[in-house]
Homo-oligomer: A and B are copies of this chain.
């Protein structure tokens, strides 16, 4: 298996590229798990992949709380149940019933939970965090995505439980007040990796057309108000090749 000391800097083979894209396209938010445990070596590779996420000023603000204990998980599940109920009040019918019918977590069935946290105080002055304070949170999320993709390549499903209040979760896990519990994840072998996102097949929301989310050289293809130099080489015509290529990559 690839490790830190075996970094190859050459080009990726076609199959290696396919592996990366397969992980990206077939990664799912998993809420239904088999009871089989995650082998320790697989779990270790997945967590180390997260540790190799990018971070602002190389501050590596993350910690990983590995949770197996049943008592703790029961408390997290109870927190989820209350939040789910509370959140349902913000939906009107028939959306509310639809929401309440969805299975949104696998806290107890999955063999292991992982809470990924962000410690904003890890470095005294952080290079690059002066302008945007949240960059430490951004880094932590990139680490989570590494974890999610590594898990997918190992056949392990990950479900991100976002329906949890952070202060209560912090209390349950004993997380210090200054540390932010960013992601509460359930890991395990999934019953399946569905072909499309669960919320799409459940009719909740569809994947958007990517073409409509692309702008050229400014929002709505227009430079900002600051851009007074209309004589510069502003030339959206040069994007035609990209636009065609984008359509070619559509499923």
Give residues in A with beta carbon < 8 Å to B. 1-5, 7-9, 11-13, 15-27, 29, 40-41, 43-45, 47-49, 51-54, 56-60, 62-72, 75, 83, 86-87, 90-91, 95, 99, 102, 104, 123, 125, 127-132, 134-135, 137-138, 141-142, 144-146, 148-150, 152-155, 160, 162-166, 170-176, 179, 182-183, 192-193, 195, 197, 199-200, 204-205, 207-208, 210, 213-220, 222-227, 229, 232-235, 238-239, 241-242, 244-246, 248-251
List chain B residues, Cβ under 8 A from A250.
Answer: 3-4, 48
List chain B residues, Cβ under 8 A from A165.
Answer: 131-132
**A150 B44 Cβ-Cβ under 8 A:** no
Q: Which of B3, B150, B176 contacts A20 (CB 8 A)?
A: B150
What's the minimum C-beta distance from A188 to chain B, rounded to whole angstroms? 14
**A205 B123 Cβ-Cβ under 8 A:** yes
**A150 B21 Cβ-Cβ under 8 A:** yes
| A52 and B196 alpha carbons, distance in the complex (Å) | 11
What's the minimum C-beta distance from A78 to chain B, rounded to whole angstroms? 10
List chain B residues, Cβ under 8 A from A45.
Answer: 21, 249
List chain B residues, Cβ under 8 A from A182.
Answer: 138
**B24 A149 Cβ-Cβ under 8 A:** yes
What's the minimum C-beta distance from A241 to chain B, rounded to whole angstroms? 4
List chain B residues, Cβ under 8 A from A251.
Answer: 3-5
